[in-house]
Structure 1
Amino acid sequence: MPRIRFSSRELRLAFDGSSVEFPPAYSTKVEKYWAKINHEGRFFNGPVLSASSIPNENEDSAVHMQLTDYAHYLYAAQDDVNEFDCRAVFSAAVVLTCDNYILLGQMSSHTSAPSQIQCPGGGIELDSDGQLDAKLCCQREVIEELGPDFGEKLERYRPLCMKSGGDLSTVGIFYALRLDMTAEQAQYSFSHHRAALCAAGERPEFDCLHAVKFERRVVAEFVQTNREQVVDYLAPIFLSGWPDVFEATASP
């Protein structure tokens, strides 16, 4: 079960340029697995920032990161022994419409997590100046996955929580994002964005967008009904952490 730490303070990130180092035998395992799963060229072996340490509950320190790659991330995700865990750091948004619906995306079949239902977001990346900004990374991912309207209709955007542990040992930095658009408008905008991507020969990250009424009972029913598809952090954020997520998203 993932651990969730709610906080309204921005989480600091630190990267000293170092890379994760593996013994040759482990690197060989990663390379063989990558060749096996990527023989059709579905994936790109790009850089991944992995957490080497994260702050404890009452600490005000940073998430320290090292550089690895996507091949390591995918191998580590299926390695039951957890020989060299990859705690990939990502940012994601709990998106709430002005008529109180949570927006959740369902991953496309070409991704590494087909049919998974999750919050919009993606891996933390260095910007062109070599700086780290989780908030900007999150906003960029929301725009890329849902469409440009979702970057222009922001009413509120604040830190929400940090997720650690869980099925993939990833570290998630979450923001509460409230939109000045209804669920119907959001669905319409997303469908047009997705159609435009397909027309341009690109493959959208999300097949569809779920709009779930922002009521604890309704969210619980959605999680239970889709328990085989929902990502592991949804229940602890929206159900166990309901008072915190409600305050961060619904309060002025």
Structure 2
Amino acid sequence: MTAVGFTEVDWLRLKAAEPPRADPAVTTEVDEYWTHRVLDNPTLFNGPLVAAAGIRFEEAGCDLQWFRSDYAHYLWRQAPGSSEHRPYARTIYVATVARTENGGILVGRMADTTSSPGRIQLPGGNAEPPNDEEFVEGTLRNHAIREFAEEVGMPPPAIRLWAVKTGGVGDIGVVYSTNVCTTDAAAAFSRVRAEQAKHSEFAAVLELVPSPSGKTVSEPVVDYLPVLLDTLFGTQRVAVRELEASVAARV
């Protein structure tokens, strides 16, 4: 794992690349591990996703190369043994930093039915490859909007491209920014949980607000969260509030 970093960008260009050459032994290993994971969690679905082939930063923006992959290759990174040379496991995802009126941000706690139960992360998800349409930054922006609406229960107010995350486990994150009202978000999430409890990605939506008397988040967290908090707040000490219940939650 390498150091996580957020590089602010004004633009993003996407370019298709050739996928790694298929290795029969690798294919067998991926299939066997996927079968094992599905036995543990039958709700998993091997859908398409976008993998990163390379990235190059330029002044105020970056070029990002991608190829088509799938969720089985994404989960393959978690198989026993070294994951350093697993080319299919480095995905491109979108995420949204939703700033609140209290000076904090919204995050979600992943549901038990997901591949990472209990993990704390931003609203978002792995990017999906296009069908026939052009794959551009606007495609990722629309995907970020859709993921936020599905997970939080409401479309985000106007979002803008903010940064690209690199490092950590190797995934490339295209991160957007918006502002939200916690009252609206709490009501929206309560509705979506009532309607889609068994299919919701998030078990809870939390507000993290910087606080000298707060604590560092000790639950399982996505690789970028500590650095994100330092970048936004200059500290990892936060007060945590669960929006749905509108009570303080210890994390």
Q: What is the TM-score when the length of structure 2 is the normalising length?
A: 0.81
Q: Distance in 2 between matches of 1:43 and 1:173?
A: 24
In 1, are the aligned partners of 2:9 and 2:60 still within 8 Å (CA)? no
Cα offset for 1:46?
Answer: 1.2
Q: Distance in 1 between matches of 2:211 and 2:4?
A: 19
Report 1:37-186 matches (<5 A).
37-39=37-39, 41-56=42-57, 60-82=61-83, 83-85=85-87, 86-127=89-130, 129-132=132-135, 133-148=139-154, 150-151=155-156, 154=157, 156-166=158-168, 168-179=169-180, 181=181, 183-186=182-185
Cα offset for 1:164?
Answer: 1.6
Q: Distance in 2 between matches of 1:11 and 1:80?
A: 34
Unaligned runs of 5+ in 2: 235-251
The amino acid across from 2:143 in the alignment is C
Cα offset for 1:191?
Answer: 1.1
Q: Distance in 2 between matches of 1:10 and 1:77?
A: 32
Cα offset for 1:188?
Answer: 2.2
Look up the SS of the partner of 1:211 in the other structure. strand
Mark the CA change 1:9 to 1:207 in structure 2 (over 3 Å): closer, same or farther.
same
Q: Distance in 1 between matches of 2:123 and 2:27?
A: 31
Look up the SS of the partner of 1:5 in the other structure. strand
Deviates more, 1:42-51 or 1:109-118: 42-51
Unaligned runs of 5+ in 1: 244-252
In 1, are the aligned partners of 2:9 and 2:61 still within 8 Å (CA)? no
In 2, are the aligned partners of 1:5 and 1:57 still within 8 Å (CA)? no
Mark the CA change 1:189 to 1:84 in structure 2 (over 3 Å): closer, same or farther.
same
Question: CA-atom RMSD, angstroms?
Answer: 2.3
Q: Distance in 2 between matches of 1:128 and 1:47?
A: 11
Cα offset for 1:3?
Answer: 2.7
Mark the CA change 1:170 to 1:43 in structure 2 (over 3 Å): closer, same or farther.
same
The residue aligned with 1:227 is 218
Aligned residues, how many? 227
1:108-151, Cα deviation, whole Å (9 max, x unpaired): 00101000000000111234543222111111100011113x33
Deviates more, 1:71-80 or 1:124-133: 124-133
In 1, are the aligned partners of 2:9 and 2:62 still within 8 Å (CA)? no
Look up the SS of the partner of 2:218 in the other structure. coil
Q: Which has the higher helix share?
A: 1
